[in-house]
Structure 1
């Protein structure tokens, strides 16, 4: 272990039962939840801060609908006593939430962001976080993508969406690395 444990919070974004609904099929990195669990175990074993961001969608047809049967945080990464749950209603975890205030209250200038999906809520959160002055570590194997269909009907497979989004975010907005690299950095 390094002399000083990391006070950097681990943020788990939108990892709810909803992500296993059929409209989210075709994920390129189906092992992402196990990677998040591994990071979560490290953070918990060191008593480092963990923040859960839960999407409570107001649209009844959404798989993330606030009153829907799939809205719960996945049991395998569910919060334990002392871990904050921040509720969001938009794609970005900083818009209309307590995330920024919570991070500022912790005096956090950096965070490790995990969750779903890289080209939607993760992307929006990374970009907003960077604009707010945060340094964001993005473990590439602790997220996933799904296929994207454009307005013209063209489909991009999940791996292409994932690779391109990580390349864009890693170029300017986040420090993209593997979970092994994150763990090595903090242990």
Structure 2
């Protein structure tokens, strides 16, 4: 069986701050927890990616009070934590090297937010030749304001981003189907 790592991206206390409050899928952490439990039970590889932002006003600021990985999805049993400083988890990190060391040609990506770091990581991963599996219930979106002032609500952002990514860049599924297909 091919190694299928689970990657948990940017799920830090920062995402619970008011600027991120209008999430369309507040239960995304529960889906990630189910996936983590399944991976850990099977002793499959889990990689955590933590965002350390240089901008002091960011909720993800490296030395800010909300920078730690959420306790609900914290690394266990020596699971590696890769640090990123850009929106893409492949830029200036060990993610590609770690995946290659595991012999992975595919991986499951979970985390936040679908239209930012998740999107950038998926597109780059695809360009690097990876098959990316995206459980849609293990991610979330927030509203986005366009340059002209139009507001796109979180559900619209989520639906549109998944539609775009699912056409070319990732295999979109859900946690239950993914786990069922692996048993």
TM-score normalised by the shorter chain: which range applies?
Answer: over 0.9
Which residue does 1:38 correspond to in 2?
A: 34
Q: CA deviation at 1:81?
A: 2.3
Q: CA deviation at 1:22?
A: 0.5
TM-score, normalization by structure 1: 0.96
TM-score, normalization by structure 2: 0.98
Q: How do residues 171-186 of structure 1 correspond to structure 2 at under 5 angstroms?
A: 171-186=167-182
Q: CA deviation at 1:25?
A: 1.2
Gapped regions of structure 1 (runs ≥ 5): none
8 Å CA contact retained: 2:82, 2:95: yes
The 4+ residue runs of structure 1 with deviation greater than 2 A are: none
Cα deviation, 1:125-150, whole Å, max 9, x if unaligned, reads 00000000000000000000000001
Which residue does 2:136 correspond to in 1?
A: 140
Which residue does 1:25 correspond to in 2?
A: 21
Q: CA deviation at 1:181?
A: 1.0
Which residue does 1:86 correspond to in 2?
A: 82
8 Å CA contact retained: 2:88, 2:124: yes
CA RMSD of aligned residues (A): 0.8
Cα deviation, 1:59-108, whole Å, max 9, x if unaligned, reads 11100000000000000100012201000000000001000000011110
Which whole-Å CA distance do the structure 2 matches of 1:176 and 1:167 have between them? 9
Corresponding residue SS for 1:12? strand
Corresponding residue SS for 1:57? coil
